[in-house]
Amino acid sequence: MPGNMFSKGEVFVIETDAASREQLSDALQQSAYDVICFADGASLLSEAKARMPACVLLEMPADRSALDVLKRLREENCMAPVLVTAANGSIAMAVDAIKSGAADFIEKPFRTHDIVGRIDAAIDEFAQPESTRHRWLQGCDALTARENDVLTHLAAGLTNKEIARRMHLSARTVEGYRANILKKAAARNVTDLLRRIFGQGSPSQV
For residues 72 and 6, which has the higher predicted lDDT (pLDDT)? Answer: 72
Per-domain residue ranges for the chain? 10-127, 145-199
- The answer to whether domain 10-127 and domain 145-199 are alike in fold is no
Q: Which of 110, 111, 122, 112 is nearest to 168 (CA)?
A: 122
Q: Tell me the CATH number for domain 145-199.
A: 1.10.10.10
Question: Which string of b and e fits 56-91 if b means at least 16 CB within 10 Å?
Answer: bbbbbeeeeebbebbebbeeeebebbbbbbbeebee
- Mean of the per-residue pLDDT values of the chain: 84
For residues 196 and 127, which has the higher predicted lDDT (pLDDT)? Answer: 196
pLDDT in tens, 125-176: 777 655 444 457 777 888 888 888 899 888 888 899 999 998 988 889 999 9
Mean pLDDT, residues 32-43 taken together: 93
pLDDT of residue 107: 87
Q: What are the phi and psi torsion angles at 82 (to 5°)?
A: -120, 125
CB 170 within 8 A of CB 164: yes
User: What pTM was estimated for this model as a whole?
Assistant: 0.68
Residue 55 reports pLDDT greater than 90: yes
pLDDT of residue 203: 39
Pick the CATH number of 10-127 from 3.20.10.10, 3.40.50.2300, 3.30.1240.10, 2.40.50.840: 3.40.50.2300
pLDDT of residue 189: 87
pLDDT of residue 175: 92
Q: Is the peptide bond before 81 cis (omega within 30 degrees of 0)?
A: no
Element (H, E) at 82: strand 82-87
For residues 203 and 25, which has the higher predicted lDDT (pLDDT)? Answer: 25
